[in-house]
Structure 1
């Protein structure tokens, strides 16, 4: 078996699937795009949801990635064990209606045994107990003996999320040897002990689950596999935990050097070292992807991880600020795989330094409040702090609850942990409610899901001025798919081609009218819905409209030009902000209409009056210069070479339209 580093395993995996005609994609940001069901990307599949649900067309039917992931469900266990972590990398290959079991199972065996050279007699697999087809492929096509193929139930080896696409999965295990076992006579694959380690899960989506509990075969079957990179590295390097693999150990050793401690000698010290090591990886990645510390959402996750690391630094005796310096170790290890870490390192250092400094002030403030609370408890003869008070310290002031418990215990007091947990759960419920409902894979189900998946609208706005001949290919009337609509009906019209600009890049959709021989629709908004379909929202003002009608689509040119001017101004504003504040400034959202624009961006302090004045001067100077505006189409690589900036949250194809001012 090869002894490979984390970076070597990652590259080998991606190269292997490229050799199987897969398109290698860069890791998506850990900030989900158009997905309210997730706070942070937590799996390799998560950024692919829109491809699996049909909302978007994938750039290739075969894709492979190494995805940055953040999971915080086990945050309280991080450090206490050598297994838990909040940041990890997930290797994956994906088939969107292309290959299936007969391809991916032999490929996975080829990669593991030929490319990684893991001995075959160390490998076992599990399959879903009713999936004989997968078992036969493992046995007949791969040659794996039946005694190394174990059947498990639905809970272990069947992937399902409510109704919709679902299917069995098959997992590959590595036998670490009897010294890791539990010595039970029944010990085997699936046992809770540490002997058999699962490292690759192949999800085989082949069924459509219905509300009555029945299943039907999908016409287009999908493959979604996931291999934890750090877990694979523990096998390849023959170590016991993720904190011992080369890249993570490098960071761990820097932490120990900074604190002047030795790892592996004392459990309490090891806990703090592991917490700092894991958390600095997470906060460095999150900060590079545009997450800023705050008191809600993903910003709160970042703040909590950062402050937890700072707190344990103090427990180890580290003096002064140290997190920004530690992040350099993360960049050293992962900068080649994720170049955004190198590009934004100065910005990362600044954010971590400001937040760490703020936390030390918070600790001082929290200590004052905690002392007051303790004095009140003593006066009242109480020894148990209420959940409300301990949660207020934690939630409002960012004071770690473990620190509250530690200080109270020293004074013979304790926290009402059950009441604290209830307060915490109530906060989680509020956050979940704020994210909204979800359907299959977190995608909201709407009337637009009922439209034909092959329905497309060609945007003709770059080819024509304001008017285009078109055909009505679908209608939604009063929130239901319909063949026709009458006067005063609220409608959404779908055309085969349109001059209407659909809301995108923060710019509101065009207004205008759609005329047919029998009716007129006043369009009050235009937007993209599932699968990139262009939806013209409005009201039937006169007569009636029907699917199949020939139409004349005409935009309100005055409204369009006013919006376009403000859209151009956002780009001038971004350029000016980057000039004045620094190149870390990125657009994180915008709103552009005919009468105003709003530009959201990331920066670590409030702008000064002088900075605002200078930005205004630069933007106005550019406007008054009356620069020629040149728009041209080119490949995404050519656009980057030209110096074009991609905008946060926007999806780009191979060919992009570049506007040069």
Structure 2
């Protein structure tokens, strides 16, 4: 069976057991800031396991896309570690339990995919007699094939937990360690875990007690790649048809040899990482220096570096995307939809990394020079290479070992742990602010969203994720109303704010958010008095703020449509922010938008505003919306029913946000700026309504003041400024030539300072230049005149010293090193610096020490030669 056939067989099998097949959730967790990326099949289903939400079905099955980077350094070294993998799962939310989970797992493995029952073994928790009875009496496994391990218990602190049962497959003695004691649980590769069944039957309390759950759950996980390796009888996941075609493409590109261990590992890393890269970009993740974007950038750069180790010195990663789509595109059609974007992002990022890679290698060589005495590279510096330049630690270790250096791994691990703890603490802090109590007891049919509601009742109050009956002055709470006029945050739009007045207190609403099932909850603080569940409240939504948001949100739709008309259909939304004051729109484009193009975009949007076009909002089936041509937001997940916002024939998008009734309400639209934010992503900031009018007034005042200063009419400002700039440019040219002449006039005196040290010509002198660029040019000229040797020049400007050192490349072979020479000079003048053997530059804070600094540089030349 192929990997695709195994996945389909699994999902269809559990569909036959009355499970609802859900398409894989995006890798970006929805409404769960505690997670950076989805790393397990059950992760997107947490609200159903915890009972906070009613599931779409009490039996669900998925093949979930997952990303894990905790063991990234093991990828390629082992048979099973991956950054991207697919987790097959079947889940029960208070429906069936151990009997069905065990019998269906066995049926699928032995009847559907026909694994040899005699090669299957299981593990259970020692106290789980129920699981033992089902495996032994119902399935018929002998005692010697049921292993009891204390670590067969799944828990992550406080909350739902329970015993688990793992299923292992015997790959044969030839895959084992050969020891007489080799059996299930051995560290060797003979017994492979292919399935884990978690029986969530307890709730662990804060004081460590285990209380039985009223509703018991099933959470299973079966790695698709592992199962494929067993069925296809491959030594590792990488040899299966889910990954190996990518490796074959890498072999073709590199001309490499898969039988060579080092090359084999590099090819595995690249094949694994390009799968992760392709899927992450298709789910709306783009390279950046933080969060998910940083994970993507790190994986991509790691793949590029391993490509260089294979001798691939050109852009190559994007050429592997077609193979990834051929393998995974059947299950994940979004890969084909964003194929062009995926390739362009990869190409751009790989091109940019080439320069970063060179900088990282320079830093590594500098680190080795500074650690020449100890031959140990500091852990913090190794982490800097890893974190800033994307150097895998094993790469640093390999290059360092070639020169006889070792790494301070304890220091590296400490720096790594500190960063992980900072990230985890930040996510936990955010998570605590948005925690909502269990909402399943609420009858959602009685809870309505009504934009015109002015009164209602409090049906639930939450504090730090726990339901409370009342709250007092100053407390931060979440609130659910039976009649809710507040529009929830979503699609980049901020949530509504306002005031609730209860009989004995008032509440300031600072945000509104929605749960995955659409239930809106308010984030608020009790301004005075107290509130309690059941209170009747008068509701005041800040309507002026809401209308300002609506103007900017509808304008965002018009902006996207205009950008696609002017720049092309490759433009996709990559993020947005809609506030009362302004709008910010991030979009995919691989070059800056020209002033002429921005002018066209702005004109198109204002043209639609002046037409007074009605804005229509409809609810319909997702398929119907697609047929209508509605655009989906990049990386967003939609249900079967969607909300379609249309502006005539100009714009049609899926959106749940606030909008004006017609375009004329927007007033006018002004673009403030267009900048780049990351690889292949541009950002436009703009204003509408009163803010656009204020911007026009400000611009008019600026032009009026300029006209007064230039003593011309406002209409003639541009002509006058152009004339003045032309004059300024001519003056600057004359000034630069004068400075160059002044520097060269001192050339004879500089050359006259030449002396020989151990037969090497050395020129160390003060120069008169106004910039580092000029000083470098002068040093080049002096070295050319000298023929070879060492040139060390110092120039004083603005109370600081600038140094440049050049060493003829032939003389570097004699031990001379510009970086070391300039470092000695700069330190003598209260500064520091370094650089390459043939060229270095530095700065100093003590201009009065120039002569001493030049002498220190010459002394270092003597030391290096002597």
Instruction: From the superposition, tell whether residues 646 and 55 of structure 1 become closer, same or farther in structure 2 (CA, over 3 Å).
Output: farther
Q: CA deviation at 1:519?
A: 6.1
Instruction: From the superposition, tell whether residues 139 and 641 of structure 1 become closer, same or farther in structure 2 (CA, over 3 Å).
Output: farther
* Residue equivalent to 1:232: 227
Q: CA deviation at 1:77?
A: 1.9
1:582-630 deviations in whole A, cap 9, x for unaligned? 5554445433333333334455555443443333233223322322222
* Residue equivalent to 1:13: 10
Alpha carbons 1:448, 1:529 under 8 Å: kept: no
How well do the aligned residues superpose, as a CA RMSD in angstroms? 3.1
- The correspondence for 2:488, drawn from 502, 505, 530, is 502
- Within the alignment, does 1:172 sit opposite 2:160 as a pair? no
- Within the alignment, does 1:632 sit opposite 2:612 as a pair? no
Q: CA deviation at 1:277?
A: 1.6
- Within the alignment, does 1:58 sit opposite 2:55 as a pair? yes
Structure 2: segments with no counterpart, 5+ residues: 648-866
CA distance in 1, matches of 2:470, 2:299: 55
CA distance in 2, matches of 1:103, 1:583: 50
- Within the alignment, does 1:25 sit opposite 2:26 as a pair? no
Instruction: From the superposition, tell whether residues 375 and 96 of structure 1 become closer, same or farther in structure 2 (CA, over 3 Å).
Output: same
1:57-456 aligned within 5 A: 57-153=54-150, 155=151, 157-264=152-259, 266-377=260-371, 381=373, 383-437=375-429, 444=432, 448-449=436-437, 453-454=441-442, 456=444
CA distance in 2, matches of 1:477, 1:211: 17
Alpha carbons 1:82, 1:274 under 8 Å: kept: no
Alpha carbons 1:457, 1:534 under 8 Å: kept: no
Q: CA deviation at 1:16?
A: 1.0
Structure 1: segments with no counterpart, 5+ residues: none
SS at match of 1:137: helix
Instruction: From the superposition, tell whether residues 145 and 317 of structure 1 become closer, same or farther in structure 2 (CA, over 3 Å).
Output: same
Alpha carbons 1:458, 1:498 under 8 Å: kept: no
* Residue equivalent to 1:564: 550
- The correspondence for 2:42, drawn from 12, 24, 45, is 45
* Residue equivalent to 2:512: 527
Normalised by the length of structure 2, the TM-score is 0.69
SS at match of 1:247: coil
Instruction: From the superposition, tell whether residues 529 and 283 of structure 1 become closer, same or farther in structure 2 (CA, over 3 Å).
Output: closer
CA distance in 1, matches of 2:354, 2:479: 57
SS at match of 2:66: strand
CA distance in 1, matches of 2:143, 2:524: 59
* Residue equivalent to 2:763: none
Q: CA deviation at 1:545?
A: 5.9
Instruction: From the superposition, tell whether residues 485 and 197 of structure 1 become closer, same or farther in structure 2 (CA, over 3 Å).
Output: closer
Normalised by the length of structure 1, the TM-score is 0.88
CA distance in 2, matches of 1:649, 1:320: 30
* Residue equivalent to 2:811: none
Q: CA deviation at 1:446?
A: 7.2
CA distance in 2, matches of 1:112, 1:210: 36
CA distance in 2, matches of 1:481, 1:400: 46
Q: CA deviation at 1:30?
A: 1.9
Structure 1 window deviating more from structure 2 (268-277 vs 80-89): it is 80-89
- The correspondence for 2:33, drawn from 30, 33, 36, is 36
Alpha carbons 2:52, 2:439 under 8 Å: kept: no
* Residue equivalent to 2:561: 575
Number of corresponding residues: 645
Q: CA deviation at 1:129?
A: 1.1
Q: CA deviation at 1:452?
A: 7.3
1:196-236 deviations in whole A, cap 9, x for unaligned? 21101111111111233321211111111110001000110
Instruction: From the superposition, tell whether residues 579 and 70 of structure 1 become closer, same or farther in structure 2 (CA, over 3 Å).
Output: farther
Structure 1 window deviating more from structure 2 (188-197 vs 466-475): it is 466-475
CA distance in 1, matches of 2:402, 2:555: 59
Alpha carbons 2:304, 2:317 under 8 Å: kept: yes
Alpha carbons 1:467, 1:552 under 8 Å: kept: no
1:358-411 deviations in whole A, cap 9, x for unaligned? 122222223333444444555xx4533333433333333344544444443333
Q: CA deviation at 1:481?
A: 6.2
Structure 1 window deviating more from structure 2 (407-416 vs 61-70): it is 407-416
Instruction: From the superposition, tell whether residues 350 and 190 of structure 1 become closer, same or farther in structure 2 (CA, over 3 Å).
Output: same
Q: CA deviation at 1:142?
A: 2.8
CA distance in 1, matches of 2:186, 2:465: 52
- The correspondence for 1:597, drawn from 583, 605, 615, is 583
Instruction: From the superposition, tell whether residues 136 and 611 of structure 1 become closer, same or farther in structure 2 (CA, over 3 Å).
Output: farther
Structure 1 window deviating more from structure 2 (479-488 vs 626-635): it is 479-488
Structure 1 window deviating more from structure 2 (364-373 vs 281-290): it is 364-373
CA distance in 2, matches of 1:44, 1:33: 14
CA distance in 1, matches of 2:225, 2:474: 60
1:60-103 deviations in whole A, cap 9, x for unaligned? 22211111112212221222233322221111111122221222
CA distance in 2, matches of 1:314, 1:537: 53
Instruction: From the superposition, tell whether residues 39 and 133 of structure 1 become closer, same or farther in structure 2 (CA, over 3 Å).
Output: same
Alpha carbons 2:447, 2:481 under 8 Å: kept: no
Structure 1 window deviating more from structure 2 (330-339 vs 500-509): it is 500-509
CA distance in 1, matches of 2:132, 2:582: 61
State the structure with bigger RCO (CA 8 A, min sep 6), 1 or 2. Answer: 1
Alpha carbons 2:375, 2:406 under 8 Å: kept: yes
CA distance in 1, matches of 2:464, 2:186: 55
Structure 1 window deviating more from structure 2 (582-591 vs 292-301): it is 582-591
CA distance in 2, matches of 1:220, 1:181: 41
Instruction: From the superposition, tell whether residues 32 and 179 of structure 1 become closer, same or farther in structure 2 (CA, over 3 Å).
Output: same
Structure 1 window deviating more from structure 2 (320-329 vs 34-43): it is 34-43
- Which protein has the larger Cα radius of gyration, Structure 1 or Structure 2? 2
